[in-house]
Structure 1
C-alpha cells in the first residue's frame, strides 16, 4: 500500500548533520549544464554556511569518472558506496533545476532510520500500461511508483552498499536504458525483494516560490530555462525522413501542424516527389533502421552547400514537434561546441556501453558535431542499422557528450505521467499510433497565441 510517510508529522528542530549526506547533482558535461550544476552546488554551500555547518560533499555525476554511462546512476553506485558511504548515511540525488531547503531536508531525513534500506522520493505512477515501461504492471499500472527526479530522491547508504554489491552478480535484465527513473525503481524493488519507493510529502516538484510550497524541502527553479532571445528560425535546418508509402498520410500531418514554423526544411525520401517536394538521396528505403539515409543527410548538411545553419534537426515523418519551443531551448547552448540534444537513451551502461539520442523524439546536432562525426570515419555497419544507436556509438568513440532534455519524447503523450508533461512545455512526441496526431499537436505543442489563433479559426469555420 502506498502512502505519504511524512504526512503524519510536523517538522521539529531534530535534524541530521550535513556531513551525513552526500549530494549528487545529476549533471551533464556540456558547458551550459555544467554551469547550472555549479550554481546548484554554490546554493547548497551558501545554505550550509548560513546553518553554520561544514560544507557537504556535493558531487557532479558527470565528473565521478570519465565514463559517460554514469548518468544511468547504477554504474555510479560502486564508487559512491566505496568512497562516500563509508562515512555518510545518505545519498541525495537532485537535478540542476532542483532547489533544496537544506534545513528542512535535514529534518526530513532525520525521521528515517539510516540503518535501514530506504528509497525516498516524490512518487510518479502510470495511469495505463505503457510501451516505454515495457507494459510493466499492465493489470494495475498505478500499483508501482517511481521517483520524480526533479523533486530530488534519496537512498540510505545501507541500500547503496547493498546495491553496489548486488550489481556485481545481478546486473539489470535489459541492456537498454529508456526511462531511467522507472528502471532505477524496478531494479531497487527487485520484484518485491527490495524496498519500494517511499513517497515523501516534503519532496516537491512545484516551481520555487509557488503557493502552498511552505512545507517543501525541495522545489524546482524553472521548467523551461530562459537564456535570452530564441535562436532565429533560419538557424535550424530541419531534415524529415520519409518514404513513398507515407507521403500521403504522415507528410500531410507535418504540413498541417509544425512545418509552417520552419524556415529551412527538406523531406528526404526514396523517390523524388515534386508535389511535396522530396529529395531523393539515392538511398533505397529500409523497413528497420535508416542509417544510410541519415548519414546521407549529414553529408548533405555539412558538405552539400544547401545551408549554413548552425543547427540540424533530424526527425521522422511521424514526429510531432514545436519548433518555437525548440528555438527557445537552443538559445541556452553554444553552437560552437559539439552539441547533441534530444531524449537520451542508453545501451549496456552497466557494462561499458554508450548513450544515444532516440531518433523518433528528434535529434539536434550542432554543425560542429556533424563535422566531427563525418571527419572521424564513423559509418553504418549496414544500410538498415539503427541510425540513432550508430550515431551514439560514434559520439562515444569521439568522446563527445550526449545531452538529455526531458522535453523530447520518443512516445505519445499517453505514455507519460500527465503531471510531468504539463510542466515541461514539451518539444516533441512521436508515433501516430492510436491517436489523432493533429489533435495531439494542438493540445500539447502549441503555445498560447498560436493555440488561441487555432481555436478562433476553428470557431469561425463552425459558424460558417
Structure 2
C-alpha cells in the first residue's frame, strides 16, 4: 500500500473515532444536565420514543410539565393520572342529575359555591328557588320561602324533574345549598346498584317511619324507578306541604313502596353525612342525633369514599375542593 493511501486510511479512522467519542460525550452530558433542568418533584408516566428521551423525560407530571423541554427532546405522549379513566368511565355509565334547593337570599352566596365546586361534576345540575333567576340560572317554583314550605318545594322540584328531565339521568340527587357532594364517590357507590329498582339512599334516620328515611341536609338519591313512581302516583299518596321535608318525603317513598337501602361500605363505614367532616370524624354528635341515626351513631366511622357532608359554608366548600382534588402528598402511592 502506498504512503498516500496509508495516510488517507489513518485520517478516516481518526475521524470516525472522534465522531463516536462525541456522541458518547453529548449523550452523557444530556443525561446529567436534564435533572437540573426539570424540577425533581415533578413526575408522570411516559412512553418515550427513544432511549435518550426515556432517560431525560421520565417521571414528569402532566399538569406541570415543562413543555418547552419536552418539545426540544421530542417528548412522549402523556398518559392520564391514575384513576382518571375510571372516573370518566363512570361519568358515562352512571348518569346523575343533581338538584340543589336554594333561595334568592343564598343563591349568589351559598349556591354560587356549589356551582363553582362540586355541582359542575354532575351529569346535569339544576338549581331550584322560589324566584326565577335566568342569569344564575335558577328555576323559580310557585312556592313561598321559609322552613314551613320545604316539603312543598321538594315535591314541586321532583315533579318538575320528572316532567322535564326523566330521561336525562339514571339517578336523581337532592341536596341543599350547604351540602358538599363528592360526585365521583357517589357514582362509585351507585355503580353496583340497579336504577330500575324502586330504591333510594342517603344518611339513614329511623324514627317515625317503619323503614326509616334520609337526612335532607346530607342529601338523598333516587333511582329512576323511584322517580317514575313519584311522578305517576305522588299526587294520590304524598303530602304536598309541610316543614319536615326529609320526613315527609320519606313517608312519600314508603307509600310508593320505594325502599330505603344501606349506603355503608363493606366495612360498615358511612358515606352520606348529616354534618361537617370534622364533626363526623371526631364523633361530635348532638343528643338528638344518637336517637335519630339508624345505628345510634355506632357505625359512623367515615368511609374512605365518602359521598356527602352537610352544614358546609362556602369557605368550607372551597377548602374541601382543595383537599379532595388538589392536595397530593409527594412520593406516597395511592392505596
Match of 1:99 in 2: none
Q: What is the CA–CA distance in structure 2 between the aligned matches of 1:316 and 1:331, rounded to whole Å?
A: 23
Map 1:16-95 → 2, pairs under 5 A: none
> Would you say 1:380 and 2:260 are equivalent positions?
no
Q: Which residue of the partner structure matches residue 451 of structure 1?
A: 326
Partner of residue 172, structure 2: 312
Counterparts of residues 61-460 of structure 1 (less than 5 Å)? 230-232=90-92, 235-288=95-148, 290-305=150-165, 307-348=167-208, 353-376=210-233, 377-382=236-241, 384-405=242-263, 406-418=270-282, 423-432=303-312, 436-443=316-323, 446=324, 450-452=325-327
Residue in 2 that maps onto 1:206: none
The 3-state SS of whatever aligns with 2:227 is: helix
Pick the structure with more strand per residue.
Answer: 1
| CA spacing shift, 1:250–1:424, aligned 2, 3 Å | same
Once the two structures are superposed, residues 231-285 of structure 1 have per-residue CA deviations (whole angstroms, 9 ceiling, x without a partner) of: 5277111111100000121012112321221231111111111221101122222
Q: CA deviation at 1:442?
A: 3.2
Distance 1:312 1:269 in 2: 18
Distance change in 2, residues 1:414/1:233 (3 Å)? same
Deviation at 1:317, TM superposition (A): 0.7
Cα distance, 1:305 vs structure 2 = 4.6
2:168 alignment partner, SS class: coil
After TM superposition, the structure 1 stretch with the greater mean CA deviation from structure 2, 309-318 or 279-288, is 279-288
DSSP 3-state at the match of 1:347: coil
SS in 1 for 2:136: coil
Could you say what secondary structure the match of 1:404 adopts? coil
SS of the counterpart of 1:290?
Answer: helix
Max Rg structure:
2
Aligned to 2:292: none
CA distance, structure 2, for counterparts of residue 427 and residue 292 of structure 1: 26
Describe the superposition over 1:152-211 as per-residue Cα deviations: whole angstroms up to 9, x where unpaired. xxxxxxxxxxxxxxxxxxxxxxxxxxxxxxxxxxxxxxxxxxxxxxxxxxxxxxxxxxxx
**Native 8 Å contact 1:343 1:361 kept in 2:** yes
Within 2, Cα distance between the matches of 1:309 and 1:440?
26
Change (3 A) 1:241 1:330: same
Equivalent residue number for residue 33 of structure 1: none
Change (3 A) 1:237 1:421: same
Runs of 4 or more off by more than 6 Å in structure 1?
A: none
Q: Deviations over 1:83-107 (max 9, x none)?
A: xxxxxxxxxxxxxxxxxxxxxxxxx
Instruction: Give distance in 2, aligned partners of 1:256 and 1:431.
Output: 17
Change (3 A) 1:234 1:300: farther
Q: Which runs of 5+ in 2 are unaligned?
A: 1-85, 264-269, 284-299, 331-335
- Cα distance in 2 for partners of 1:422, 1:368 equals 29
1:409 CA drift (Å): 0.5
